[in-house]
Structures are given as structure tokens and as C-alpha cells.
Amino acid sequence: MTLRTLRAVALALGCFISLPAMSEEIQVKALNRGPSGLFVFEPELVRIRPGDTIAFIAADKGHEVHAVAGMIPAGASSFDARINENATVTFTEPGVYVIVCKPHAALGMVAVIVVGDPVNIDKIDPSALPGKAKAKLQGLLEQIKRS
């Protein structure tokens, strides 16, 4: 290799290494009816990397999105979106985040976001949720533990 070729390779490598890591944006839709039933988030279980973004889409009217207090990783910021409002959230803290639509939580409208490793999974208490949300959250946590 010539000195000129080595410099070109070094410059290209330097540019490649200095590029910021590309994060991914995923959509989670709030629906009146979805593949798993009535009043659901689609998808209900999402796995992402720290730094990835989720766009919560109010696809059907009458839904909102809330991180459940006590069911997000320590140090993570909570978030809330009002009824019929889209929200975009970037997740930086690894762990499990439990998301609900408050008006429809008792009907089982719950989702789980796993960011990196589910480091706080043993601190998530499904019995704190109302009605069908409790059973749905238990099922989602079991899926995470099996994988």
C-alpha cells in the first residue's frame, strides 16, 4: 500500500468511527381493536436499545399513554400524553417500562417496553394494576423472562 492509500483508508475509518450511532424509531399504536383484542396497544411488547425512540400514535380516539409510576427503571423519566395526543419518547435507561391507557387500563390496555436488559423486571408488580391489566402484564412479563 502506498502512503496515499493508507491516508485515505485512515481518513475513511476515522469518519466511520466518529459517526453517531443511529437510533431507531418504532411506532406503538393505541387502538380500539387490534390483533389481540379490544383496547390494545399494537405492539404490546417492544424490545429496543437505549437511545431508541418510540412514537406512541393515537390511532383511534379516546386513548392516552402513561408510564406507570413505580414500574419504570430507577433514574428513568416518566411521561404522559393526553387523550388523542401522539407522543414521542426516547428511552435511555435500560429496563422494563410499563405503559397504560388510564381510561382503559381495567380493560387490559397495557404495553411493556424493554430497553436493553430488563434489569428491573423483578420490581414490577402486576397486582398494582386494575382488572384485566394485571393478567395481561403478568403474561407480558412471562414472555420477557422466557426469552
Domains, in order of start, for the chain: 23-146 (2.60.40.420)
Q: How confident is the model at residue 14 (pLDDT cuts 50, 70, 90)?
A: very low
Would you call 35 exposed, middle or buried from its count of C-beta atoms within 10 A (0-12, 13-18, 19+)?
exposed
Q: Are 116 and 49 in contact (CB under 8 A)?
A: yes
Q: What pLDDT sits at residue 147? A: 87
Q: Are 69 and 40 in contact (CB under 8 A)?
A: no
pLDDT of residue 1 exceeding 80, the answer is no
Average pLDDT (39-54) is 97
Q: What pLDDT sits at residue 25? A: 84
Q: How confident is the model at residue 24 (pLDDT cuts 50, 70, 90)?
A: confident
pLDDT of residue 10 exceeding 80, the answer is no
